[in-house]
Amino acid sequence: MEIKVLGPGCAKCKATADLITRVAAEAGKEVTIEKIEDMRQIVGFGVMTTPAVVVGGKVVHKGSVPSHDQVLAWLN
Amino acid sequence: MSADISSPRPARPDWLWHAGLVAFVAVWWLVYRQLIPLAEGITSLFPVDRHSHTGEALAFFFYDVPKVMMLLTLIVFAMGVVRSFFSPERTRALLAGKREGVGNVLAAGLGVMTPFCSCSAVPLFIGLVSAGVPLGVTFSFLIAAPMVNEVALALLFGLVGWQVAMTYAAFGLVIAIVAGWVIGRLHLEGWLQDWVRDIHSGATAPDASGDTPLTLVDRYRLGIEAVREIFGRVWFWIILGIGMGALIHGYVPEDLMARIMGADAWWSVPAAVVIGIPMYTNAAGVIPIVEALLGKGAALGTVLAFMMSVIALSLPEMIILKQVLTLRLIAVFIGVVGSGILAVGYLFNFLF
């Protein structure tokens, strides 16, 4: 499963990527996380607030560090 | 922080939340009214004369720290709840296609209400401009957002008084509206970075929203989340700032500031603005110092100008904006906003 974390390298973006890695490990899911820090690409997804999360090419979350449960829901 | 946090986990009943909130405010109020005896009590535990320099500084510190922390908690929570009614997407929809003038006023107001962190400034800027929000209106938004923020208002309200807090908020908005309008009149769209212009002329980015409606309890949660996040970021600055303020309060001679930062020294306003630009503490660090300076005879206009300059014109912010604005446009931005701050500074020194 491929998950993209969009954000210009701010603390919350890192926290988001770390959270997804952790939850995936707990749930025993195989994920590859791609951090997208280039502003042009971020804007290309149409998000206005970061960090944002893209799962399967679709923006599922934006503007905050997601909750544990949200991440779990994306993984399933 | 956006409206994406829904509540899938089993929750406490709603009435418990409402009751808890009422109880919290009641306890808050009782404690808040006891802060002076509390501070005097703590100060008397130290082996110093209450009326010595050290005694004055300690009393100042032990009164202001809990007071500011308490005010900040309440105001940030309230703003967190209010902001849960707004989102960048809704703001964009409200501002798209608005004329200049009306648009500038609306944008400045929305800048205060819309939740976003400074690391989102660039995508937000592009999101607005690409949706057809005029450049000047976008600037009104971007100037108002950091300038009139809840941390600044809470600290001003707690330390300097509600009159100055309201004055600051009102003139912060006026500067955002007027500066945005002026930048719009100058028609500087060509001074955006090339790649931003391309997005501008192209199709609008797809809307990534899919928000579920929030319950009141969800909004409480967002408020609590805001309190936690802001405290994590500013508690250190508040203690440092109040510590500095306490030293000034206890040790700086009474009339020194009146001479350097008084209303008679005409050059003090531009000096305050220029010194404020490279300084980057947030409002939390600078306002306690401002309070202490005012107490030592500094003029209100000079101090307001300093504060606005520190908060609204900061180098890190310029570096972020450099990704979307050319240096020329950044220079115009600094020039226009700086002039506005200067005008406010002189106006206040003249009036008060």
Q: Which residue of A has its CA nearest to B195?
A: A40
Pairs across A and B, CB distance < 8 A: 78
Instruction: Please give the pLDDT value at position B9.
Output: 53
Is the Cβ of A71 closer than 8 Å to some Cβ of chain B?
Answer: no
Domain coverage including residue A31: 2-75
CB contact under 8 A, A13 and B119: yes
| The pLDDT of residue B180 | 94
Gap between the Cα atoms of B240 and B19, Å rounded: 35
Note the pLDDT of residue A40: 83
Please judge whether B127 and A46 are an interchain contact, meaning their C-beta atoms are less than 8 angstroms apart. yes
Nearest to B228 by CA among B124, B72, B25, B19: B72
Contacts of B89 in chain A (CB under 8 A): 48
Q: How far apart are CA B287 and CA B124, in angstroms?
A: 28
pLDDT score for B280: 65
* B contacts of A66 (beta carbons < 8 Å): 4
Quote the pTM value.
Answer: 0.83
Can you tell me which residue has the tokens 């025993």? A28
Mutation pick from A48, A62, A68 vs chain B, by most beta carbons of B within 10 Å, is: A48
- Positions of chain B with pLDDT lower than 70, given as ranges: 1-11, 200-212, 254, 257, 263, 280-282
> Is A63 an interface residue toward B (CB < 8 Å)?
yes
Tokens of A71: 């991440």
Q: Which of residues 188-217 of B touch A (CB under 8 A)?
A: 195, 199, 205-208
Chain A neighbors of B119, CB-CB under 8 A: 7-8, 10, 12-13, 50
**Domain residue limits, chain B:** 51-204+218-352
State residue B14 phi and psi, 5-degree precision.
Answer: -60, -40
Residues B1-13: pLDDT tens digits?
Answer: 444 444 445 567 8
B315-322 own/partner pairs: CB under 8 Å, 24+ apart? B315/B277, B315/B278, B315/B280, B316/B280, B317/B118, B317/B121, B317/B146, B320/B118, B320/B119, B320/B121, B320/B122, B321/B121, B321/B122, B321/B125
Biggest alpha carbon–alpha carbon distance for chain A: 33
If you average pLDDT over residues A32-49, what whole number do you get?
86
For A62, the closest of B128, B130, B208 (CB atoms) is: B208
Q: How many domains does chain A have?
A: 1
**What mean pLDDT is predicted for residues A1-27?**
88
Rounded to the nearest angstrom, the minimum Cα separation between B170 and chain A is: 27
DSSP-derived 3-state class of residue A62: strand
- Chain B interface test: which of A12, A49, A71, A74 (most B C-beta within 10 Å): A49
Phi/psi for B4 (5° steps) reads -90, -10
DSSP secondary structure, B105-135, as one string: HHHHHHHHHS---GGGHHHHHHHHHHTT--H
Q: Distances in Å between the alpha carbon of B128 and those of B88, B95, B133, B337?
A: 9, 8, 5, 20
The CATH number of the domain where A60 resides is what? Answer: 3.40.30.10
Report in angstroms the alpha-carbon separations of B216 from B17, B76, B79, B281, B335.
9, 16, 14, 34, 43
pLDDT digits (tens, 9 = 90+) for B275-296: 888 776 667 788 888 888 888 8
- Put simply, whether A19 touches B (Cβ < 8 Å) is no
- For residue B192, what pLDDT is reported? 86
